Structure 1
Amino acid sequence: TRRSASNPARTYEMTMKNALTGELVGDGDGVTNVAEGIPFPILDKDPKLAGMEAMWNHKLKYKGVSARRWADQAPVTASGKYVMVRIKEELLGLYYRQGATLAEINNILIYFYQEVVSPPRLAGQVLLVHETLNSEIGPRQAWVYNPGQRRVRRAPNIVYDNPGTAADNLRTTDMTDMFNGSLARFDWKLVGKREMYVPYNSYKAHSDKSKVEDMIKPGYIDPDYLRYELHRVYVVEATVKAGQRHINPRRTFYLDEDSWQILTTDHYDSAGNLWRYSDAPSVNYYEVPVFWSTLENHHDLKSGRYIAVGLDNQEQMYDFSFQTTPDMFSPQSLRQRGIQ
């Protein structure tokens, strides 16, 4: 076990300040009185509040101010066949800019741009998301560009359990980055903390010397490329609220004590049976530094299928030096970028 997770000194400094001021808004719909760092490094004694705080810690964990990456994904059949989907992504995290206040960033947590490059039948599809810090003030906004129609339209369905981009129904929208979006459909509870073998320091899975065709096997990523270590994790249970719906009415998240990265998730069906399992082999990007996933694997245990996301081994790796501006993430720029 190597406790390699690290962030810039500024993140730790602001996290200590947030510990004295951070508050949940409404029924966990947002956060206030925080900036730049982890919002709730000391969790509330109430398990329900602590569960929501832990999930916000994951959502606001440092990701670098801006980044560009290839998030290629392989939806793998039970027999091991797949067609690689090449996806280019860009993000700009206003929350992480030094000196930024909640008032200055106008409720925007992250701008997110995603473009499908191949295969040809999917190429040119573009997604733009403005992720917010407080859904009471303003919920997530999303737009899509359809190359066939050559038009931009709003996409209010890019939330919760709607299918993820080009994922062959193997992951939902809110499974991106292991969990994202609003907490509103679930009741949350911090079950406690435990030691657990989790994917960690997965540098072989991250390496440009590892070939994707060698890594992908029927049913799983070849374990020779994975690494598991004993770490302390927070365990958070999510149960769908009365009157709400989700294809996974119950989920259990396991969050790294050091980084708040969700490392594994159990997803249950409406009968209470384990249906899906997700894990996030993660590494420390020392050039930033930031601890984040290098892969996300989502397994359908009933069908034997799975999807591996983040297969950039033969692509350009994460570029945290990438510079961009909010103007590049406007709906007005989406059509032009889609045509390019």
Structure 2
Amino acid sequence: MALVKLQPGDITSDDPIPFPIYSADGKLLLQEGQSVTTSSLLDRLYDLGYRKSTEKVRSGPFNPVSHAPQVNTELLISSAHAHEKALPKPEAISGRSMNVLPTLKHRVEFFRLTPAGGSEAIHVDLVGVVHEKTIIVRSTGPDESVVLDPEHSYQAKLFTGSHLSTFSTRLTPDGVGPFGCYYLEYPDNLIHATVRKHRRVTTSFPAKLQSGEYQRASVDVTVSNISLIGAGVSSSVDFLTVGQSARLSMNLSVAQRVRPVEVYVEVRNRREKDGGFFYGLEFVRVSDEVRLEIKDFVLDSLATL
């Protein structure tokens, strides 16, 4: 059986794999159709995994087999020992050989850089990653006047797909490049966390909620959590029932700019809480522009955690 090493993009987290995965000596590690649900398992499979050379990489939706295949964890662990590498601790990966930072082939949803011990983000975009060598960022300030200090270290947070990566870095010796670019050191320590598909962040800001009832005044509410598909709000007024439609108006603060947005919602659940009332709202009609504003807000909020 001819085997080839797994390549970046062959398998992804939370999606059924389109082919069996083997160890270097041909032992089955993971059956076709099994979903990879943790970043640590995904990284281990890329480190140890092989596929048949005749297998084609998935190019479209995959329909898993009807039976429920299982991970051969015993073989996976024994194969790891054969390679003289211990399994990484959940959600944390240390050492250069285990770092998995995205390249330009991956979709980078959000990159945040702050001085160590600070809270105000530096306006830079991730331009590229040279594996185990350097990270390239570019200033996005209003006049590209961002200056990174070679004497200071920086904390970076990076969103790709369903993963949040956190690491510490600093300028390389030749850290300043052309066109507002900077070269940062590739991290020695990299912490991964898996984030749910529809990221929900805890918040506490005021908003207005107006029911569809004729001439009914809008009610002051507090948005206690928000995601791309819905929000949770609380109010001292009991004025909505499950299934009722309403309009939610709120101001989202992102990158030192306030963005007023309005979405149409439907009440999915209602409960009394702490002497008030809590409503779970689903976004049922949102413009593309507003959806992007909400996404920016959610990602920015996650990056500050």
Question: TM-score band, normalised by the shorter chain?
Answer: under 0.3
Bigger Cα Rg: 2
- Greater RCO between the two (CA within 8 Å, min separation 6)? 1
Higher strand share: 2
TM-score (norm 2): 0.26
TM-score (norm 1): 0.24
